[in-house]
Every structure is written in C-alpha cells, then in structure tokens.
Amino acid sequence: MTIFFTYILVGFLWLLHWLPLSVLRSLGSGLGRLLYALGRSRREVALTNLRLCFPEKSEAERETLARRHFVAFARAVLDRTLGWWASRERLERIIRIQGVEHLTDPEGRPVVMLSPHFVGLDAGGTVISMHVTGCSVFSNQKNPVLNKLLYDGRMRFNEAILLSRQDGMRKIVRAMKDGHPFYYLPDMDFGPKESIFVPFFGVQAATIPALSRLVRLTNARVVPVICHQVPDGYEIQVMPPWENFPGESVEADTEFMNKFIESQVLRMPEQYFWLHKRFKTRPPGEQRFYK
C-alpha cells in the first residue's frame, strides 16, 4: 500500500470514530460477513482450527462459529478507531474494567498481565493504559504511516514501554523489575525456535514457555486479563493472581497456561483468534494441517 493511499485509509478510519457504537458495530457485522465470503484462505484456516479443537461439533456448527468469529473480528477492527481517537470519557463508558486492583501487587512484586488472543485484547490494552504504565511487545510495520498510527495509539494515555520481539527477555525483565506490568499475549505459533510442544484442545501446539521463565526470573505474579466483546462495548476482567505458580517445571507451567486459555475460550469461542495458524509448527514426523 502506497503512502498516499495509506493517508486516505487513515482519514476514512478517523471519520469512523465519530459514529455511534451501534452504527460502527453494524458496519463491522457487514464487513465480517464480506470477509468470510471473500477471504477463502483465512476462512479455511479458521475452519481447520475449529475442526481440530472441536471435533465433537458438526461441520455446520463449526461453520456457524467461524461466521460469528469473522463478525466479532471485523467489529473489533473498526472499534480500534475509538481506541485511537475517541475521548477518554467515551472510552471509559464503552470499555468497562473489573479487578483493576490486581494490576499492581501489594507486596511490590512484578506483574505479568496474561491476555489470550481474544478479539477485545486491544480494548483491554487501551483501558489498562489508563490505570498503569505497562510494557508490551510492539512489532514495527513496514508502512511508516501505519506504524506511527499503531505506535501513537499505544502511547495515548501514558508513556508505555514498547519493546521489540527481537529485544529478547532481558529488556522485558528489566522493565518489569522497574515496576511496569507486562501485557503478555501468550498463544501464537512463532515457529520451532525456543518453543515446546504442549496440548491445546488435545492437539500438540508449539508454545513459547516465556511465562514460566519470566515468573521464575522475576518472582512475578500472573494476573489473567480476559477481554470480552459485548453489544455495548467491552468488559475487561482482571482476575486475581494465580496461586502456586510456577509449578514443578517449565513444561508443566506451559501446559497449565494452555489449559487455562482453553477454559476461557469455552466461555466465548466465537471471540478467540481462530484466523491464526496456531498449529502450523508440527512435531517431527507429523502431518501439516494447513494448505
């Protein structure tokens, strides 16, 4: 995308943020249905993931779930315009947060905010930034206009610490020890390097065991942050810290994390990020799932 057309796109998105949420959601529903109809490759990724994770469902049930996911995803994409430009007062009405007291530890220990990939995670990041100065991983975009838009959106309400994935764990540990809670998105397939295989819905999934290692290095508390898209906005639930974590091994901790994510997916399966090739990396000798 050229810089010129990127500016036109950004201008169009800026106009969207003035719309009432009900209108924005209606546009998102239409966009989601269009993406499902036209986005054959991502539709197949979503349906493959759903077949693997919900083999007990019929194909018709999985197709219905995939359609609902495309709608939820498209709504979240358009809702991001609010996070970029809407007033703080409007955002506080649309994005409600519970359990904000868990974002800091009374004993002064570092905090990891564990946020699985639900469509509302950007809304969660926005409202959390109104309460604490956290740190998170930021992936630079090749397009400088989009990169600035995404960067400025993360920095709207405080000077958050944004780190590159290439920076490694050392800078994350330093930021956490300096008192910045880490907004950690744990559940994507980043390839075989540094991953271990643990089950996710009964399927071996390449998973980065960073959560266990971070907690062992920093004595941090793990605070799950679950982001739920609802008809009139988002509800962000900050759960109490996990007890008895870490456990006996990094492998056991990572499996525990995936089991926890499964339990949250079952609460709102249409809102989990099924468009990602979660099972792309396979153990040696196993067949590939995606075309």
Residue 280 lies in a domain: no
70-94 pLDDT, tens digit each: 999 999 999 999 999 999 999 999 9
What is the per-residue pLDDT for 169?
Answer: 84
pLDDT category at 166 given cuts 50, 70, 90 is confident
3-state secondary structure the chain: CCHHHHHHHHHHHHHHCCCCHHHHHHHHHHHHHHHHHHCHHHHHHHHHHHHHHCCCCCHHHHHHHHHHHHHHHHHHHHHHHHHHHCCHHHHHHHEEEECHHHHCCCCCCCEEEECCCECCHHHHHHHHCCCCCCEEECCCCCCHHHHHHHHHHHCCCCCCEEECHHHCHHHHHHHHHCCCCEEECCCCCCCCCCCEEEEECCEEEEECCHHHHHHHHHCCEEEEEEEEEECCEEEEEECCCCCCCCCCCHHHHHHHHHHHHHHHHCCCHHHECCCCCCCCCCCCCCCCCCC
pLDDT > 80? residue 113: yes
Segment 2-11 shows an average pLDDT of 91
Provide the residue range defining the domain that includes 199: 3-271
The per-residue pLDDT for range 265-283, each reduced to its tens digit, is: 999 999 999 999 999 999 9
Residue 223 lies in a domain: yes
Residue 286 maps to a domain: no
Mean per-residue pLDDT for 51-69? 98
Distance in angstroms (rounded) separating the CA atoms of residues 60 and 289: 20
Which burial class, exposed, middle or buried, applies to 265 when counting CB atoms under 10 A from its CB (0-12, 13-18, 19+)?
A: buried
Number of structural domains found in the chain: 1
CA distances 6 to 15, 16, 74, Å, are: 14, 15, 19
Per-residue pLDDT, 2: 85
Residue 98 lies in a domain: yes
For residue 279, tell me if it sits in a domain. no
Mean pLDDT value of segment 22-31: 98
Rg (CA), the chain: 19
What is the average per-residue pLDDT within 115-129? 97
Burial class (CB within 10 angstroms; exposed 0-12, middle 13-18, buried 19+) of 267: exposed
114, β-bridge pairs: 184, 224
Domain-located, residue 290: no
Q: How far apart are CA 17 and CA 50, in angstroms?
A: 32
Task: State how far Cα 13 lies from the chain centre.
Answer: 21
Average pLDDT rounded to a whole number, residues 29-39: 98
Calculate helix-pair angle for 210-218, 169-177, nearest 10 degrees.
Answer: 40
Instruction: For residue 42, tell me if it sits in a domain.
Output: yes
Contact criterion met (CB below 8 Å) for 212 and 254: yes
Closest CA to 256 of 203, 218, 212, 288: 212
pLDDT classification of 1: cutoffs 50, 70, 90: low
pLDDT digits (tens, 9 = 90+) for 96-110: 999 999 999 999 999
| 281 is a domain residue | no
